[in-house]
Structure 1
Amino acid sequence: MTEINEKEIEKTWLKRIRAFIGVLGMILPWLALLGAALVNKTSHFPDEFWQNLSISATYYITPPLVGVLTTAAIILMCYKGYDWRDNLVTTVSGIFGTMIVLFPCKCAISGELVGYFQLPVNVSHTIHCVSAVAFFVLLSINSMFLFTLGKSDTKNKKIKNIIFRVCAVGMIGGLVLIPLPIEFRSKIFISEAIALTFFAVSWLVKSEIFGFLSDD
């Protein structure tokens, strides 16, 4: 196998990994919501649970959060980018993604001791929230400053850079929406879904799954 073929195979594999990460981010909120709705048919949850619904709260009743986020976190930790900056940001974001799963949040149906380590729920909730913020901040940094790197000055590259920056702002915007004094049903879930959607779009565009934006 020639060196050129090896590089092409590696490039193709990297694009597929990016696309897979993007797909995981895109489907997570809706799988979590569907799972919660299906379980609710037989185990009715208090209205407070739905009023303050979050993707994280579905941890207690349906497996998508654990399965999808853990998979994405492991891939991020194993991800091999162009240089040490890519590797550092994705590895640390993967660690925080794992911590989101290991340290569940507090919600209307959580117990006093939660998670694998059976920590007091308030302690676990604090670690969970810090990890979630760090996770999205790092991913937005990745989209804003690392995905936009490259010497290519093509029209497609310029378009993609705009998309990457918009996605970075969108991820942070989704987080900022959560603490704002604007109350509406399932605000946290909607905010998380917005952040995850921008995350997914960023990685899907980077994967060049949309052929018309390819630099090739």
Structure 2
Amino acid sequence: MSQQDSLVHSYLFLRRAIGLVGVGLPVVLVFGVLVTDGVFLDSISGYYHSPMRDVFIGAMCAVGAFLLSYRGYDLLDNLTATAAGIAAVGVALFPTTPPDTHTPVEGVVGVVHLVFAAVFFLALAYFCLVLFTKSDQTRPTTRKVQRNRVYVVCGWVILACLALIVVVNLLPHTELHLALWLESAAILAFGFAWLTKGEAILGDVS
């Protein structure tokens, strides 16, 4: 295997690793607390304040580390990955405001958490809609065209979920846990996009 082939395989592995963490995170968090406490929480970030706290922090820091080490095709690609990586670590280190009583400091930390979360998801949507759909080929392969469709769908799912989360937070609280399911859908879309980018889904035929 040449050095170039080894580099390509390393990047494919990195992309798949990011995707696997994204796909697995909401499943592990939700079912982990459901099994231990028998409840659903109001948001993915809320699992910081649960027995699954270490899983949440570890997964977000892992995603952040992967993104910070990611190198794309150009400077914009790299800057977007860096911004998303910093935001992912920020989401883990600055927890969402506790659901019950909280101090003013915890309230401020919660606002910082929301900012990092917004940057993280917006960067991921930008990856899907703009960066992942690029090609250095004049005539992309059939699989590349198919992958681009997956990226676009995932990107719009992320943006739609973000918009709906804002709407849900303006509504009276319900027991439907709508924000949880919307956040889960956005994270799953992020995971599937990166698995596709790593060619674990719709990979080019050798």
- The verdict on a shared fold, with TM-score over 0.5 as the criterion, is yes
SS at match of 2:188: helix
1:67-96: CA deviations, max 9, x gaps? 111111111011111221211101111101
Q: CA deviation at 1:162?
A: 1.3
SS at match of 1:107: coil
Q: Distance in 2 between matches of 1:34 and 1:146?
A: 33
Q: Distance in 2 between matches of 1:89 and 1:130?
A: 16
Cα distance, 1:215–1:92 mapped onto 2, change above 3 Å: farther
Judge which range, 14-23 or 157-166, deviates more.
157-166
SS at match of 2:2: helix
**Superposed, which structure 2 residues align to 1:9-28 within 5 Å?**
9-28=6-25
Q: CA deviation at 1:215?
A: 6.4
Residue 129 of structure 2 corresponds to which residue in structure 1? 144
Q: Distance in 2 between matches of 1:215 and 1:138?
A: 29
Counterpart contact for 2:97–2:107, Cα < 8 Å: yes
Residue 116 of structure 1 corresponds to which residue in structure 2? none
Counterpart contact for 1:157–1:215, Cα < 8 Å: no
Q: Distance in 1 between matches of 2:179 and 2:30?
A: 12
Q: CA deviation at 1:110?
A: 6.3
**Normalization by structure 2: what TM-score?**
0.88
Residue 214 of structure 1 corresponds to which residue in structure 2? 204
Q: CA deviation at 1:184?
A: 5.6
Structure 2 unmatched ranges of 5 or more? none
Cα distance, 1:109–1:28 mapped onto 2, change above 3 Å: farther
CA RMSD of aligned residues (A): 2.0
Cα distance, 1:110–1:83 mapped onto 2, change above 3 Å: farther
Is 2:108 the partner of 1:123?
yes
Larger radius of gyration between Structure 1 and Structure 2: 1
Judge which range, 61-70 or 9-18, deviates more.
61-70
Residue 59 of structure 1 corresponds to which residue in structure 2? 48
Cα distance, 1:215–1:84 mapped onto 2, change above 3 Å: farther
Counterpart contact for 1:89–1:142, Cα < 8 Å: yes
Q: What is the aligned-residue identity percentage?
A: 26
Q: Distance in 2 between matches of 1:102 and 1:138?
A: 19
SS at match of 1:178: helix
Counterpart contact for 2:44–2:180, Cα < 8 Å: yes
Large movers: runs of 4+ above 4 Å: 181-184
Q: 1:6 aligns with which of 3, 11, 24?
A: 3
**Superposed, which structure 2 residues align to 1:175-214 within 5 Å?**
175-181=162-168, 185-210=176-201, 212-214=202-204
